[in-house]
Structure 1
């Protein structure tokens, strides 16, 4: 009897080891795929990485197999979760926060108070004195959130709101999350995972200094080499100088380029272009050179705009702080897309229709100008929240041994720079 029991325990231990390394193999497979697409990206097909990651969702070894899935907006998908399919809790606006389910006005203000740098209470929010007065043992960070679980420290942000039914935040529907009231958390046993606010928000997404080509983006400043800017984006010398001048203004961000002519942004509108704003067809040809200061600055055409948004930035990546990530138009679901556009479901549906109509997906934020429902002025205000690729992924890899034992590894990986880094890791 003792020998039999020892054998069973030994086989069980071996099974756990096999399942663990099978799960880790799945993690490494995803990392390898992400590294390949970061080093040699297909600039014309941002959906290529999505397809390859979905292909890697399962694999078999001599000692076991792995299974990688995730749930987004109630639907299960194969492969890892692109955290850029969610909004950054560090850049989401007050109006957008207010559209989240179960979100109250005081909690919105408290979230903004937690991440801002000052001690002034916003509206009916909560700053240092509130937390000290209740002897909670902590005070607001007054800096960007580090993780989505940190949100639970904010006044009014209860765990059931943040996590929903996904109690372990692994983005998968586990048995205890679909059994009614039998085990924590309480759920409705409907076969769908309610991910709470964590299904809309993330603190992990990061903006990358890399362009769609895989090379570092050109930071547009007064010191930018105009010749390099002209070569990469196809703009003429006058347009290059205008971009550099605009970048140095108080409003020097990328968004206004989508709704206002470049010449107007720097006080030198083009003459007789037949176009003033938005999606008018009066964009000049990319090959139309020679616009001078006397004649005004020629408007940027569609291809020039796409090149600028793909390979340039007005953001300074040289500092020690991470730049919060943007929402990936190619992986975000309808609820998150509606949230970006202040709960406008019709715009979300139009973006999904555009994305699904092309095998390569949406290749540039400029593509959204084709959607009649999106006003260019509105698009310019949310442009700094949108992109067409993701840099940080959440991987829930479940390893299964030949004897049926399972071990799950949850990892968050960052491919914004090479080599790909694991920034969060836990085993269940």
Structure 2
């Protein structure tokens, strides 16, 4: 029942009473609570939208950082193009002191790095926890389209088997016993497929080969940066599984390529002379003339050519040279003479005249050198140490005569060169404070004298590849 409050009212007739109805106290409390809930809801909505806007701001900031990193990579590609145009002329490998390879700024918001390899590091001396920054010479690797099964088995890969090495060679072969065996294996898969029977187009095709397990093709280097990162040296705590011995066990990807080839013309534009044709008088006269054109006195040029056995009347006495290196040791040319003419020579018998798959002994790693016949593991360490001590001699491979006997050079000659025409730039781009990250590998072909991109692969998904020191530097932390 409602309570009634009466109060007197003044009027001409006297006091009258007015009855005023008041709500109970419980109803007034409910209204207050409802108002408070509404206020609380409004506050919650305000906080929600504020948090949402903050998240959008962070997402936008991260997107900007990603775009900055990608633009840094684009800048790295243009910079690599400029470096190769200036310094990779006529098969020359750009020297690291001629360009910047790490923390190269692109504007004020990003930088890029060239993730490279240290050519002159022996297994016991290799940097295991921080990347080496440089452009990579593709000719420092074995070419999958020319490498032999024996050379693959000679690589320091504990999981490499003769069967897998044969399967790698069979993949590019259409007619061979191993190709037939491989075809039979692939045809029984579900779904069935064929052995390719044609040249490799990318290194990643190795994953299709019978026996290609990740520990073999990638080793412990799961992010393919050439160093031992923390997660690659922690046993089974995180992927990949490793032996936790503090030494990087590289995979097959580290040592192979598909891009190496040498053009038929020299840096000056003249056609190379094939030393395997020096059993003919015309070829000999052409080469002797080329020697004098390059600054070798006529008498000395005649002496050089006279050291190659030749008889116009009895061809059986002619000795066919097998390689450019064979020509060098047979003629006993000096290093100074060799520098003048080595770019004018070739020994390829390919129909297109292009020499494919030669390994540059000036940049090849210990592991690759140890797989080359005539060099092997016994001489590979000696070659790497000599290169490191005599960098000024690496204008050709004439220095080999100071390290290897003539017979070893002749044996290795079919597989080696002193020039390079394909280079890869493994570019990591990072925005300010390390918030954005991207990584792209680009392969350049210099066969025509100008850089031409022949391959591009996004490696961002492989994870951080710049090492712990760079990460701490970018995040503003002091290196401890």
> In which range does the TM-score fall when normalised by the shorter chain?
0.7 to 0.9
Q: 1:142 to 1:12 in 2, by over 3 A?
A: same
CA distance in 1, matches of 2:225, 2:447: 22
Map 1:127-206 to 2 at 5 A.
127-135=182-190, 137-169=192-224, 171=226, 177-188=232-243, 193-206=248-261
Tell me how large the CA RMSD over aligned residues is.
Answer: 3.5
CA 1:368–1:51 in structure 2 vs 1: closer, same or farther (change >3 Å)? Answer: same
Q: List gaps (5 residues or longer) in structure 1.
A: 262-282, 284-299
Please name the residue that 2:80 is paired with. 30
Residues 214 and 28 (structure 1), Cα distance of their counterparts in 2 relative to 1, 3 Å cut: farther
> Which sits farther off after the overlay, 234-243 or 80-89?
234-243
**1:252 and 1:334 mapped to 2: Cα distance?**
25
Give 1:200 deviation, angstroms: 2.2
Match of 1:293 in 2: none
Alignment of 1:232-311 (within 5 A): 232=294, 234=296, 235-236=301-302, 239=305, 253-260=323-330, 303-311=336-344
What is residue 10 of structure 2 aligned with on the other side? none
> Does residue 1:331 correspond to 2:363, yes or no?
yes
Alignment of 1:195-234 (within 5 A): 195-211=250-266, 213=267, 215-220=269-274, 225-226=286-287, 227-228=289-290, 230-232=292-294, 234=296
In the TM superposition, what are the counterparts of 1:314-393 in structure 2 within 5 Å?
314-315=347-348, 319=352, 323-341=355-373, 344-371=376-403, 374-393=404-423
1:410 aligns with 2:460: no
**Deviation by residue 1:275-309 (Cα, 9 ceiling, x = unmatched):** xxxxxxxx5xxxxxxxxxxxxxxxx5655555443
**Equivalent position of 2:453 in the other structure:** 422
Contact 1:258 1:376 in 2 (8 A): no
CA–CA distance in 2 between the matches of 1:240 and 1:139? 53
Task: With the length of structure 1 as denominator, give the TM-score of the two structures.
Answer: 0.75
Paired residue for 2:473? none
| Mapped contact 1:230–1:240 kept (Cα < 8 A) | no
Corresponding residue of 2:142 = 87
Question: Deviation per CA, 1:228-274, whole angstroms, max 9, x where unpaired?
Answer: 4542373339939979999x98765434324546xxxxxxxxxxxxx
CA separation of 1:251 and 1:409: change in aligned 2, threshold 3 A: same
Question: Which runs of 4 or more aligned residues in structure 1 lie more than 6 Å from their structure 2 counterparts after TM superposition?
Answer: 240-246
Unaligned runs of 5+ in 2: 1-49, 461-480
Q: 1:357 to 1:131 in 2, by over 3 A?
A: same
Q: Could you give the per-residue CA deviations for residues 100-132 of structure 1, whole angstroms, max 9, x where no partner exists?
A: 32222222222222223414238xx83322321
Q: CA, structure 1 residues 352+414, in 2 after alignment: closer, same or farther (shift >3 Å)?
A: same
Match of 1:77 among 132, 139, 143: 132
More helix by share: 2
Which structure's CA Rg is the greater one? 2
Q: Does 1:312 align with 2:367?
A: no
- The separation in 2 between residues aligned to 1:243 and 1:8, in whole angstroms, is 76
CA distance in 1, matches of 2:328, 2:354: 26
Q: Which residue of 1 is the match for residue 56 of structure 2?
A: 6
- CA-to-partner distance for each residue in 1:307-327, whole Å, 9 max, x for gaps? 4433211326773x9643322
Match for residue 66 of structure 2?
A: 16
Q: Distance in 2 between matches of 1:210 and 1:178?
A: 47
Q: Contact (CA 8 Å) 2:375, 2:408: kept in 1 or not?
A: no
Higher RCO, 1 vs 2 (CA within 8 Å, ≥6 residues apart) = 1
**1:64 corresponding residue in structure 2:** 110
> 113-122 vs 146-155, which deviates more?
113-122
Distance in 1 (alpha carbons) for counterparts of 2:152 and 2:137: 21
How many residues of Structure 1 are paired with residues of Structure 2 in the alignment? 379
* Offset, 1:34: 0.9
